[in-house]
Amino acid sequence: MKTLGYYNGTYDEIHKMTIPMNDRVCWFGDGVYDAGPCRNYNIFALDEHVDRFFNSAGLLRIQMPCTKEELKTLLKDLVREMDTGDLFVYYQVTRGTAVRTHEFPADAPANLWVMLKPLPSPELTEKIKLITVEDTRFFHCNIKTLNLIPSVMAAQKASEAGCKEAIFHRGDRVTECAHSNCHILKEGILYTAPADNLILPGIARAHLINNCKKLGIPVSETPYTLEELMHADEVLVTSSTKFCLSASEVDKKPVGGKAPELLKRIQDAVQAEFIEQTDPHLD
């Protein structure tokens, strides 16, 4: 074989392999991986890589479909299927196959992938050029990326606590929720986090802001704190599927309920806009 792809017991050339569309890696990047070199059909530092692989899976609470020894035996067997023994050996496990929802599937078994491709040993006498790049890997919340592991873990934690959402904060600043935007009403003003790189600028958020402005409700796109959230007149959560819900409790403490009339005006406007724009009689 020139390349090899493996998925839950089936393997072939990579370009011939297919996976279920509902594998959670497709929707959330919900999995972990490890990889390393192989020379003369001998996988280098296999024990260390497999230990790290299992540790990564454990930290994400992924139930491994095999033992460490079973995986090592499988990898050793698969490299023997290749035309060359100088290889890049990659393996990953995903949380399973289930209809898309952030919370973990109840009983979906994990999926094991392996990918092998030729890779000659590097020539260490080669001189390479480098650049420097500021590390912003965890500051791209404004991009609706498929890499949703933090949101998945937070949504699962909320579900296990009997809650609908999890509110993210950086230090004392409230940013957004696991898969929604978060806002507060205080003294007749809607406060919502600014559309910077720390939140995803939700479409429902934009419609909430527009509807508030139409209603003459002032909008302040400025950061607010956890303390301000806990003492707000109302706490709102918006998303394309939640529209505009209000909260009654945060961390088992009561919140909101102090501006029910203003809340209803906003919710009525949001719902009316949805009904109007989805009228079946519209062209």
Ordered DSSP codes for the chain: --SEEEETTEEE-GGG----TTBHHHHH--EEEEEEEEETTEETTHHHHHHHHHHHHHHTT---SS-HHHHHHHHHHHHTTSS-S-EEEEEEEES-B-SS-SSPPSSPPPEEEEEEEE-PPP-TT-----------TT--TTS--S--HHHHHHHHHHHHTT-S--EEEETTEEEEESSSEEEEEETTEEEE--SSTTS---HHHHHHHHHHHHTT--EE-S--BHHHHHT-SEEEEEETTTEEEE-SEETTEE---S-HHHHHHHHHHHHHHHHHHT-TT--
Catalytic positions are: 144
